[in-house]
Structure 1
Amino acid sequence: MIDLGLFLFIAAFLALGLRRPFLWVLTYIYIDTLAPQDIGWRFVAALPVSLIAFCAAFGGWLLADPKHGARFGFRQVLLTILLAWCAVTTANADFPAAAAMKWEWVWKALVFAIFLPLTLTTRLRFEAVVLTMVLTAGAIVIDGGIKTATGGGGYGVLYLFVQNNTGMYESSTIATVAIAIIPLILWAMKHGTVFPPDWRVKLFGYALIFSCVLIPIGTEARTGLLCLAVLGVLMLRDVKRRFLYIGGAAMLGLMALPFLPQSYYERMGTLETHDEDRSASTRVAVWEWTIDYANSHPMGGGFDAYRGNSFSYKLPVRTADGGNTSAVRYEDHTDKARAYHSAVFEMLGEQGWPGLMLWLWIHGLGLWQMERIRRRWRKRAGADEQWQAPLAGALQFGQIVYLVGSLFQGIAYQPFILTLLGVQCALWTWCKLADSPRGKRVRPRVAPLAVTAEAAPLR
C-alpha cells in the first residue's frame, strides 16, 4: 500500500503539471529530498522517477513556462564554472569508476541549483519551493521526532523511512538539515499565503520545530548539537526580548536534561575529549593527509580521491589499575581509504584549490547577498514588501547552520542545500529587478493567488 500510495502521489503531481508546469519543479524537489524510490519496493523503485521529474521540470519550463523576470545571475555563473570543473576532475580522477558513480548525482544537483532561479519569478513560487523543501524534509523529521519521543533514538539505530544511512537519511546530515530549516519554518508561519497564518498553522509549525530539535537527540549526532547552539546564537539578532529568549532557552534546556538517555551524554562528552575519540582522531589524520595531497595535487584528484589515503596516528587508551586511577598508553593505529568527514576537505581533495576557492566564493557571496537584501528591505512598508527581508534572513541562517555542520561531514554537494542556494540566487535577482528603474515602474495589478504565479512577475 505504501508503494502504491507513493506511486499515485507522484503520478498525480506529474499529471497536474500538464496544466501548471511549475509543479514539475516542486515534484523534483520532493523526489530529490525524500527519495521515494528508496522507500517503495515495486512500482516506484523500478521507475527512474527522479530522472523523469528532472526532465519534466526542464522541459516544462522551456516549452510552456513564462520567462518574464527570469535572469541568469553571477552566482549561477560560478555554479556553472564549478560544474565544468567537476567534469574536468572526474575525467581525470584517481579512481574513475567511483568518481563516475558520484558524478551521476552531483551533476544533477548542480544543474538544478543553476536552473531553479530561472523559474522563481513570483512570490507564490518562492513560497511554494520553500514549503516543498520544509514539508518534504519535515516528513523525515516528523518520523524521527516521533521515534525519538517514544524512546526509539540512538546513534546509528534511528532508522527513518529507509534502512540505510546515506543522503538525507544519514544521521549527521538530517540533524543539520533539521536545524537549518527552522528559520524557514518560522518565515512560512509568519509570511505564508498558501496557508495563511492562523492558530492551526502556528500549532503545526511549532510542533515541526520541536521535531527538528529532537532530531539531534534521536540521532545523537554531535554535529546537530553544535548546529542547534549556533542557530540559538544567530536568532538573538532578530528577537525583540533577548533576555527573555535567553532565559526561556536555558529553562527548556534544563527541563530536557532529565529525559535524555545516558548514551546521549556519553556521545556528547566526546566533544571535549576528541583526542580519545577514534572517530575524531581519524578525521584529523584525514584532514592532514588531504592538505598534503592537495599540495602535491593542486588540481584535485576527482570524486572519492580519499580512497587513496593511508596514514598512521596514535590513540590514547586508558586502562584501570584496580583502584580509582587509570593509566594511559598510546597505541599506533593505521587506517586507509577513510572519507573526508568535512565539506571543506572534500572540496580540497576532490576539486583541488580551484574548486575549494569556487565553493567558498559561492557560499561567501550568498551570505553577503542575503545580508544586503535584509538591510535594504527590512524597513520597507509597502503591502508586498514585507516578506523579502525575513526570507533573506531565514535563508542566511539556514546556510550558516549548514556551513557549520559541513565542517564535520562531507556534504559539499548536498542537493537539499544546493536547492537552498538556488532560492538565494533567485531572491537576489528578484530584488535587483524590483529595485531597478524598470521594476519600479512595473506595478502588476493585484491578482488572485491562483493567477499571481503566472500574471505578476514581480509579486
Structure 2
Amino acid sequence: MRDIAVTFVVFATLPLILRRPWIGIIVWTWLGFMNPHRMAWGFSTTMPFAYIVAVTTLVAMLFSKEDKRIPWERESVVLALFVGWMLITTIFAVYPGLAWVQFEKVIKIQLMIFVAMMLIKTPERLKVLVWTIALSLAFYGVKGGIFTILHGGVHRVQGPPGTFIGGNNEIGLALAMTVPLLYFLARSVSLWWLRSPLYVMTVLTALAAIGTQSRGALLGMGAMGLMFWLKSRQKVLVALLAAASVFAVVQVMPEAWYERMHTIQSYEQDQSAIGRVNAWWMAFNLAKDRPLGGGFETFQRGMFAIYAPDPTNVRDVHSVFFEVMGEHGFLGLGLFLLIAVMTWRSAGTIARAVRKVPERAWMGDLAVMVQVSLIAYFSAGAFLGMAYFDYYYNLVLIIVVAKAILRREGLLGDVTKRGVEGASPLHGAPRHPAPIASRHDHSVAAKVRAG
C-alpha cells in the first residue's frame, strides 16, 4: 500500500511540474530529504523517483517562458568554482573508478541546486522550499522524539536506510540543523493554531537528535543552542524551549547514554577517536604531497599505507574539513570554507537590510536561523564525513535566493557589492533598480523608497 501511495503522489505531481517547473524543485527536495519511498517495502524502494522528477523539471524548463537565469551572487560563483575544482580533482583522482561514481552523485545534487536558484525566485516559492525542508526532516524528528521517550532513550534513533541520513550520526546532524528552521516556521506562521504544534515539533526534533546517541550531534546541539540563544530576539522563549528539551533529556536518557557522551572528554582512550585523528593526519599529509588531493573516495588502505601515522588503522575520515582536504587539497578546502563564510556574512546582510521593512522581516529571521543551522552543521560535521550533504548546499541556496529577491526589490543594491554590511540598505539601493517580478513586490519596494 505504501508503494502505491508514494508512486501515485510522485506521478501525480508530474503534470504540475510540466506546467510550473519550480514545483519540481519542491518535489525533488521532498524526495531527497524525507525519502518517503524508503519507508515502503516493495517496488517503490528501488524506483528512481528523484531522477524522474529531475528530468521532468529540466524538460519543463525548456518550454517555460519564465526568465531562467542563475543569480550570480558571490556564493553561487564560489560554489560553481568548487564544483569545477571537484571535476579537476576527479580527473586526476588516485582511484578513478571510485571517484567518478561519487562525482556523479555529487554533481546531480549541485546541478539541482543551480536549477533551484533559477526557479525559486519569489518570496512565496522560497517559503514553500523552507517548509518542505523543515517538515520533511521534522517527520523523523517527531517520530524519533516520541520513540526516544517511549523507549527511555535505550535504542538509537536511526534514519531511513540506504540514504544520506541512514545512520544515527547522519540523522543526528540533520535533525540538529532542522531545529532552527522549525523555530523559524513557528515564529513566522500566520495561523496561530499552528504555532504550538510547530513548537512541539521543535522540542521533539531536538530530543530526537539527542536520542541518536551521536556524540557529534550532541556537540552540534550544544553549539547550535548557544548560537540560537544569542541570535534570537525572543531569548526568554528560546530559553524555555531549551529548558524543556534539557528536562526531557534528563528524564528520558539512560545511564548508558551519559557514559557514552562522557567519552568526548576522554577521546585519547577511545579507539574510534584515535582512528579518526589518524585519518585526519593522513588527509593533511596527502594534501601537502598532492595539491589536487586524492580525489573522491581517497581514504583507502593504499593511501593510509603511504600517508597515515599508523598505516594499519584504516577508518573513515569522519570530518567535513578533512574529508574535503584529503579529497580536493587545500584549495578545495578553501573554496568549501569560503562558501560558508560568504553565506554567513550574506545572511547578516539580509537581516540588517530588512530590519525596517515589515513585509520582508521574515527573511531576516530566516537568514539568522540559517546562520544557526550552519553552526550545527560545522560543529557536528567536524566529526562526521558529510561534506557533500545536500542540506548544507540548500542553506546556501536559501541565502542566494533571498539576496536575489531583495536585490530585485532594491533592498540590497550596492551595499552587498561594496561589502559594507553595516551600511543602511535603504540608502544603498540602486538608482535604477531591476524590474520587479510582481505587483506585490513592486508595492514593497515603493514603500521602502517612500519611507
Deviation digits for residues 371-419 of structure 1 (CA, Å, limit 9, x no counterpart)? 11112222334xx222221111111211221111111111111012212
Aligned position for 2:192: 198
Residue 456 of structure 1 is matched in structure 2 by none
364, 373, 388: which one pairs with 2:350? 373
Q: Which residue does 1:310 correspond to in 2?
A: 304
Aligned to 1:114: 114
Given the alignment of the two structures, is residue 179 of structure 1 paired with residue 176 of structure 2, yes or no? yes
Distance 1:32 1:68, change over 3 A: closer
Please say if residues 367 and 396 of structure 1, whose CA atoms lie closer than 8 Å, have aligned partners that are also in contact.
Answer: yes
1:233 pairs with 2:210:
no
Matched, 1:28 2:38: no
Q: How do residues 31-430 of structure 1 correspond to structure 2 at under 5 angstroms?
A: 31-64=31-64, 66-67=66-67, 71-151=71-151, 153-154=153-154, 157-162=156-161, 164=162, 166-192=163-189, 196-199=190-193, 201-240=194-233, 242=235, 246=239, 249-250=242-243, 253-254=246-247, 256-307=249-300, 308-310=302-304, 335-381=312-358, 384-430=359-405
Aligned residue pairs total 419
CA contact (8 A) 2:75 2:339 kept: yes
Question: Is the Cα contact below 8 Å between 2:408 and 2:435 reproduced in 1?
Answer: no
Rate the CA distance shift 1:286–1:53 in 2: closer, same or farther, 3 A: same
236-245 vs 219-228, which moves further? 236-245
1:78-113 residue CA offsets vs partner (Å, 9 max, x unmatched): 212211211121122111222122112111112222
Question: Once the 2 structures are TM-superposed, how far is the Cα of residue 336 of structure 1 from its aligned partner?
Answer: 4.2
CA contact (8 A) 1:172 1:409 kept: yes
CA-CA distance at 1:353 after TM superposition: 1.3
Deviation at 1:271, TM superposition (A): 0.9
Q: Name the structure, 1 or 2, with higher relative contact order (CA <8 Å, separation 6+).
A: 1
State the 1:222 CA deviation: 0.9
CA RMSD of aligned residues (A): 2.6
**Shift in Å, 1:235:** 2.2
Query: Aligned partner of 2:14: which letter?
Result: L
Compared with structure 1, are the counterparts of its residues 346 and 70 closer, same or farther at alpha carbon in structure 2 (3 Å cutoff)? closer
Sequence identity percentage: 24
Scaled by the length of structure 2, the TM-score of the pair is 0.85
Cα deviation for residue 337 of structure 1 reads 3.7
Q: Given the superposition, is the C-alpha separation of residues 299 and 440 from structure 1 closer, same or farther in structure 2, using an over 3 Å criterion? A: closer
Any unmatched runs of 5+ in structure 1? 313-331, 448-459
Give the Å deviation of 1:269: 0.6
Change (3 A) 1:39 1:65: farther
**Aligned equivalents of 2:69, 2:311: Cα separation in 1:** 56
Structure 2 spans left out of the alignment, 5+ residues = 411-429, 442-451
Contact 1:230–1:401 (CA under 8 A) maintained in structure 2: yes
Q: What is the alpha-carbon distance in structure 2 between the residues aligned to residue 135 and residue 297 of structure 1?
A: 42
Matches within 5 A, 1:436-447: 436-439=430-433, 442=436, 444-446=438-440
Residue 235 of structure 1: SS of its match in structure 2? Answer: helix
Higher strand share: 1
* 3-state SS, counterpart of residue 191 of structure 2: coil
What CA distance in whole angstroms lies between the structure 1 residues aligned with 2:305 and 2:203?
42
